[in-house]
Structure 1
Amino acid sequence: MASNETRKKIEVCFSPYLFPLYKDDFEIIVVIDVLRATSAICAAFHNGVEGLIPVSTIEEAKAYQEKGYLVGAERQGKIVDGFDFGNSPYSYLNPDLKGKTVVLSTTNGTKSIHIAKDAGQVVIGSLSNLDVLNNWLSKQNKNVLCLCSGWQNKFNLEDTICAGAITDFLVNTGNFRSEEDSSIAAKYLFLSAKDNILGYLKASSHRRRLKNLNLNEDIKYCLTPNQAPVIPVLNGDCLELVKEDVLID
């Protein structure tokens, strides 16, 4: 076990709005948007997508579409008219997407990727890739910040619980420390929820929002851990997959 002075930091930022308070102290930024952007991104790579370009605005998405890219766009939980798909993970299980580079713009997640990209190495986190991500992070020996995408710059439960799971794992390795109350709160939310995450989040605001849009299958997929054991990382403007030989033994 490392001494407190040599332990790396693992902290949690509850929303993009708070990110400027954290951004200068971390080498790895784990962007989390459990419902549904980062879960969909992990599903895409697990299905064999070659690359994924996250963009913040509909205008950027349309520009890529005009260049011939397959483009997904979501706002307020719905597919934006005129685009190929939204951010349902099931959209990315289409075998026609294997080997291709696609583009995605979402309400919260892709915006978080963009605000984080100049602060450190951006890594995609979700419950879908939780175990493989935890093991990879534990081997990097770098300060890690979990950036929760939240909902329109506000706190949400599902992203915080996922961040808490990462925090709990890394602290328990003995090589990481947390000092912020946000990280302590996230960890204890995860410990309260871990035996039944789906049930724990039954009353959460975004789960209710998606349920009202008849997206129950998406909810179940996104809240079930380890369905897509991949690690997408941002390389320039495009997300790419960390190769298997540098993942877990």
Structure 2
Amino acid sequence: MVSVHLLPSMMPPGALRGGVAVVIDVLRASTTIVHALTHGCAMVIPCAEIDEARRVAAGLPAGTALLGGERHGEPIAGFDLGNSPGDYTTDVCRGKTLVMTTTNGTRALLASLEAETVLVGAFVNFASTVQRLIHEERPVHLVCAGTEGRVSYEDALLAGAFASRFADLEHDLGNDEAEIARGLWERVQETVWAHERHGGRPGEEPPLVRYLKRGAGGRRVVELGLGDDVELAGTLNRTDCQTVVELARDPLRLVASD
């Protein structure tokens, strides 16, 4: 059974209990977390608040912490990095612990702790995350972070891609939101997959990137001069980002799953 929750606040009480949550914040926390772990971070510690992140980072061994994140799309004063996935290179990440707080994504993660297993989903690691879940017998919940309390187009689109894939594999869709998101993805998937198979004309913007720029979140990132972030987030099954990201506990941290 696969259900979609278009915002953390829209999850019924107890809905995630005993299931698997896939937390989605395409622009940009999910994509950045995948990049950070792929490029050498030992773990990512999600925090809800800026002061909490600073305290956690200060408690780590000297030289091992990276402070990263954003508020309202913009970098946080005094932090090492913002929320641009391309900034999380191997040279920056190798052996470090990323302590991260974002407006939407890390809060969605922390709202999903009731689930038995919590994964992080992005377009860049879509195929590997599907493969991780393909034989899952527990209920799967696709939890969209949204944008400051509002449903986001890009998160719903990725949730729809997951829902469509699982429906193709004869998993039941568990709520109307899953059907809505599936329909959203299926309106665009032929164009997206054709580009993935055959490529486009030289200089042509990939269709998935164009779709991500349609929503308020994508427009906001572009307005901030961070269009490259949308291009990275809109790279489906990026070959160097096939990392399955899972939340480990005691202490709470995101790690690359074996």
Same fold (TM over 0.5): yes
Q: Distance in 2 between matches of 1:235 and 1:12?
A: 23
- How far 1:199 sits from its partner (Å)? 2.0
Q: Verify the 8 A CA contact 2:213 2:230 in the aligned structure 1.
A: no
Question: What does 1:1-40 correspond to in 2, within 5 Å?
Answer: 9-21=1-13, 23-24=15-16, 27-40=19-32
CA gap 1:154/1:166 in 2 versus in 1, 3 angstroms: same
Q: Distance in 2 between matches of 1:190 and 1:25?
A: 27
Q: Does 1:159 align with 2:155?
A: yes
TM-score, normalisation: structure 1: 0.90
- How far 1:24 sits from its partner (Å)? 4.2
Q: What SS class does the counterpart of residue 40 from structure 2 fall into? A: coil
CA gap 1:12/1:26 in 2 versus in 1, 3 angstroms: farther
Q: What SS class does the counterpart of residue 42 from structure 1 fall into? A: helix
The one-character-per-residue Cα deviations of 1:87-132 (angstroms, maximum 9, x if unpaired) are 1101211413112221110000000000101233110001010011
Percent of aligned positions that are identical: 29
Q: Does 1:242 align with 2:257?
A: yes
Structure 2 unaligned regions, length at least 5: 192-206
Alignment-mate amino acid for residue 162 of structure 1: L
Q: Distance in 1 between matches of 2:52 and 2:90?
A: 24
Question: What does 1:90-239 correspond to in 2, within 5 Å?
Answer: 90-174=86-170, 176-194=171-189, 195=191, 196-227=207-238, 228-236=241-249, 237-239=252-254
- How far 1:26 sits from its partner (Å)? 5.2
Q: Distance in 2 between matches of 1:223 and 1:150?
A: 17
The one-character-per-residue Cα deviations of 1:178-222 (angstroms, maximum 9, x if unpaired) are 131110110011111222222223321011101110001001000
Q: What SS class does the counterpart of residue 116 from structure 1 fall into? A: coil
Please provide the CA RMSD for this pair.
1.4
- How far 1:21 sits from its partner (Å)? 4.7
Partner of 2:38: 46
CA gap 1:79/1:224 in 2 versus in 1, 3 angstroms: same
TM-score, normalisation: structure 2: 0.87
Structure 1 unaligned regions, length at least 5: 1-8, 244-249
Q: What SS class does the counterpart of residue 55 from structure 2 fall into? A: helix
Q: Verify the 8 A CA contact 2:44 2:254 in the aligned structure 1.
A: yes
Q: Verify the 8 A CA contact 2:212 2:230 in the aligned structure 1.
A: no
Q: Distance in 1 between matches of 2:123 and 2:158?
A: 6
Q: How many residues align?
A: 234
Q: Does 1:75 align with 2:76?
A: no
